[in-house]
Amino acid sequence: MKVDDKYFDEIFDFAGQWDMPSKCGLKIIKKEDVTVIITTELYQDNPGTSITYAGGSLIRQICDAKGLDPLHIIYVECNPNTNSKLSFYDEELFRVDFRLEDGTPTDLKYTQLSQDEIKNLL
């Protein structure tokens, strides 16, 4: 099952749980006062940890690698449409809010985004 690259511009390698080599799609949109980070699940093209299970560690790794301040980002996770008959493969995007503890995002809270909210972010 191949993932459409609608929500990502590059493949980002990251250390997943137990430092397992992992991959996600990554799109960074720099706006006037905030940077939007969209990570996309790659399903079978990811040999390791999913973006959701990587959590705050993935946010920190992206910010470190790209020189971004986690206090000035909007972080979004995308579970892309895979054109599967199974409903759990329908496209969903979630804004992930968090607080920082020793530089690492914690207490992640997921809010599903509407189509209008997605358009406003892009």
pTM of the model: 0.88
* 1 vs 80, higher pLDDT: 80
* Cβ contacts of 22 within 8 Å, gap of 6 or more: 13, 14, 15, 16, 46, 47, 48, 49, 54
Residues 85, 69: Cα–Cα separation, whole Å: 39
Report the domain count for the chain.
1
Give bridge partners of residue 38 from the DSSP assignment. Answer: 27, 76
Phi, psi torsion values for 46, nearest 5 degrees: -105, 115
Name the pLDDT band for 84 (thresholds 50, 70, 90): low
Q: Sorting pLDDT into bands at 50, 70 and 90, what band is 2?
A: low
The region of weakest confidence among 30-34, 35-39, 70-74 is 30-34
Q: Which residues pair with 12 in a beta bridge?
A: 24
Domain extent, residue 94, equals: 5-121
